Every structure is written in C-alpha cells, then in structure tokens.
Amino acid sequence: MRLLILGGTVFLGRHVIAAALARGHTVSMLNRGRHGPGLFPEVERLIGDRDSDMSALRGREFDAVIDCTAFNPVQVERTVAALDTGAPHVVLVSSISAYGVFPPHRVFDESTPLAEGNEGYGPLKARAEEALASALPDRHAIVRPGLIVGPHDPTGRFTYWPARVARGGEVLAPGRPDRPVQVIDVRDLAAFCVALAESRTTGAFNAVGPQLSMKALLDACLQAVPGSDARFTWKPDAMLLVLGVAPWTGLPLWLPEEDPTHGGMLLGDASRAVAAGLTTRSIQETAADTLAWARAPLEPGWDASKLVTTLAPEREAEILAGHSATDRPSGPGGAGHLRST
C-alpha cells in the first residue's frame, strides 16, 4: 500500500511510520521538515505546511492517508484539496477532547455529542472531523484517542510517573487509589491507525485503553524499577485543589472526580475500536519502556517546548510534610480546560 503520513517525526507520527514500514508498506511523509532529519531514511520526505503550502501533494497518488497533525477544519480542507488526483481513504487522528464536556461518573461513547463552537482545542478538532466527513463521506475514519503515552512523548505527562517512582521515597499520589484512569500506548494507537487504513474501515472510534485504577498504574511504575523504595501517600481531590495543585498537568492523570466538565474524561468506552481491531499492551510494559526511553540520552534537536509543568519536587515535599494521620500511605501491596492528546 502507498501510504501518506501527515506528520511523522515527533511522537505519534513516527510510531505510525514505524508500524507501516513493519507491515511492508511504501511510505511518504509530509511535514515542515523541522524535526528528526535523520529519521527513516527509507521514507520519502515531502515538505509542506498545513497552514499554507501543500503543493508537494499535487499530482501524487496514494492508497490511504493517515493524518496525525490536523487541528482545525481549514487544515483538513487544504489537504483534501491538494490531493487533486482523487482523495483516497483518510484516517484522521482527532481526540476525545472533541466531545467537549465529560460529566462526572458517566461513561461516554461515540454517540456523545461533539463540542460546539469554533474556538479552542476540542471544538476545532470537532470541526476538523466534520470537514473531513463532508469532503469524503464514505472514505474516512476518525480516531479519538485519550491521553497518548509511551516512548518519545514530548509532553512529559505520563513520563512523570515512572520517572518519579524511579526517584524513590515518599510519592504524592492523587485522589482515590481506586479511581479509574485510561491511557493509550502510542504504539498501539499507531498500529490501529495503520490497520484502519489497510482495511478502508469507516466510522468514528474512541482509541482509549482499558480502565485501570490509579493505584494499578503507580504499581506498574514501581514494577518497572526493581528495588525502588517508592511508597505512595494519597491525597484527596479537595485537598489538592486547596493546595493549588494543577489537575492534569501538576500531577498528570489526576482529574477531580466531581469536576462538572472533566470529571468523566477518563471513562471512555472503547468497545467499537476493540471490535475494529484495537489491541493494547499491558500498563507494565508501557511504564517500563517509557522509563527506559526517558533515561536514555535525548536525541539531537529535542524540542522541550511541549513539556508540561509538573509539580516541583520541593512543592511535593512541602505537601507531603503536612499530611495528616488520615492520609493513607501504601506500597506495592497496599491500598490506600484540558486537552487529552
């Protein structure tokens, strides 16, 4: 299959290319050429800008396109127009943020209404989806991932946890130990996107991992560091908010469960995606591989501009020093406006 990848040098795109090459496809990638000049020498590199010049696609023919980088409808429309030999099947990577609102304790699926408006990350993703559906009504798939994690993550969101556990000592853990969380390993998401392109599958799919507890996630990080002396002290949502800890970024994967707009953001139903072929690896494998990547030397030209500001070690220590007798420390056997992608 002749496959065009829009993106391909930073995070999801590079894993999509790796998955496509592993399956024997002929791959071209189009991006601005700013990152990863030495990546994938066997792949054709086309230079273009989603906000201006897409002329590199003129006269080119592909069997399918996987769009990892569109953030608004104009970018989608410009891409389809540039494929002037006839637009093939397009897999658009959107986001669960396209739904806009996630009421507490409510599971959401693909029938959930999309966000309204034309401003902000989620609404613009929703409008991008609609633009593609209008241009190619019978030749597209929409993939809505939750938090994408794994090696080469430029945001550092999930990476915070295996790295923090590796540092050891008392670890501030957010919310209830049993509160549900979801992540999707970037390699599983990439394989799913390629499979949808291969099969010309149509429709929308929540690409989220199985629900697990926050405690299970932290225990998986602990298993990735044999001999670690990390131990977890759990703080309730209300206390963390009073202390000024930023949800989702200050302590990644923490969302106050009663938050009226995002309390249910980690309660996605992935049954349609699983039926279409999505498979997910264990959280233990993801944690171990992410930590191994984080410990390796950075690639030349590594762009730190997307790193989120997580809780500083000094602030974490201050919060832990003030914990009360009602807090629940536990080890490996104990208990104790956001954008997803």
Please give the full DSSP string across 199-250, using - where no structure is assigned.
Answer: HT--EEEEE-PPPEEHHHHHHHHHHTSTT---EEEEE-HHHHHHTTPPEETT
Strand partners for 232:
171, 330
pTM: 0.94
Residue linked to tokens 């241009």: 135
197: tokens are 């392109």
Query: For strand 180-181 and strand 212-213, is the pairing parallel, antiparallel, or unpaired?
Result: antiparallel
Q: Given this model, what pLDDT does residue 133 score?
A: 97
Q: In this model, does residue 337 exceed pLDDT 80?
A: no
Assigned domain for 299 exists: yes
Assigned domain for 339 exists: no
Same domain, 307 and 170: yes
Q: Given this model, what pLDDT does residue 199 score?
A: 97
Q: How far apart are the first and last CA of the chain?
A: 28
Same domain, 130 and 236: no
Percentage of the residues of the chain whose pLDDT score is greater than 70: 95
Report how far residue 285's alpha carbon sits from residue 221's, in angstroms, rounded to the nearest whole number.
9
Assigned domain for 82 exists: yes
Same domain, 143 and 237: no
Could you tell me which residues come within 8 angstroms of residue 31 by beta carbon, excluding any fewer than 6 positions away?
A: 6, 7, 8, 9, 13, 45, 46, 47, 48, 69
Q: In this model, does residue 168 exceed pLDDT 60?
A: yes
Same domain, 106 and 236: no
Q: Mean pLDDT across the chain, nearest whole number?
A: 93
What does the chain come to in residues?
341
Q: In this model, does residue 331 exceed pLDDT 50?
A: no
Report how far residue 228's alpha carbon sits from residue 166's, in angstroms, rounded to the nearest whole number.
6
Same domain, 55 and 199: yes
Same domain, 118 and 195: yes
The vertex-262 CA angle with 144 and 154, nearest 5°, equals 55
Domain extent for 96 = 2-149+184-207
Same domain, 92 and 167: no
Is 259 in a helix, a strand, or coil? coil
Q: How many domains does the chain have?
A: 2
Same domain, 65 and 17: yes
Is 6 in a helix, a strand, or coil? strand
Per-residue pLDDT tens digits for 246-260: 999 999 999 999 999
Per-residue pLDDT tens digits for 111-136: 999 999 999 999 999 999 999 999 99
Per-residue pLDDT tens digits for 266-324: 999 999 999 999 999 999 999 999 999 999 998 887 888 899 999 999 999 999 998 54
Q: In this model, does residue 145 exceed pLDDT 60?
A: yes
Q: What is the DSSP letter of 158?
A: T
Assigned domain for 335 exists: no
Per-residue pLDDT tens digits for 314-323: 999 999 998 5
The vertex-276 CA angle with 140 and 254, nearest 5°, equals 95
Assigned domain for 341 exists: no
Q: In this model, does residue 339 exceed pLDDT 70?
A: yes
Provide the residue type at 105 as one letter: H
Assigned domain for 325 exists: yes
Is 148 in a helix, a strand, or coil? strand
Provide the residue type at 3 as one letter: L
Q: Are 12 and 68 in contact (CB under 8 A)?
A: yes
Same domain, 101 and 169: no
Helical pair 283-295 and 160-167, crossing angle rounded to 10 deg:
70
DSSP assignments along 163-190, one per residue: HHHHH-SEEEEES-TT-EE--EEHHHHH
Q: In this model, does residue 87 exceed pLDDT 80?
A: no
Strand partners for 203:
141
CATH number where 74 lies: 3.40.50.720
Tell how far CA 292 is from the center of its chain: 19
Q: Given this model, what pLDDT does residue 24 score?
A: 98
* Residue 332: burial class (beta carbons within 10 Å; 0-12, 13-18, 19+): middle
Per-residue pLDDT tens digits for 188-242: 999 999 999 999 999 999 999 999 999 999 999 999 998 899 999 999 999 999 9
Same domain, 51 and 7: yes
Assigned domain for 271 exists: no
137: tokens are 């009504």
Report how far residue 99's alpha carbon sits from residue 268's, in angstroms, rounded to the nearest whole number.
11
Report how far residue 278's alpha carbon sits from residue 289's, in angstroms, rounded to the nearest whole number.
20
Same domain, 143 and 248: no
Least Cα distance to 206 among 145, 138, 247, 120 occurs for 145
Assigned domain for 337 exists: no
Least Cα distance to 11 among 299, 339, 338, 205 occurs for 299
Same domain, 86 and 217: no
Report how far residue 169's alpha carbon sits from residue 91's, in angstroms, rounded to the nearest whole number.
44
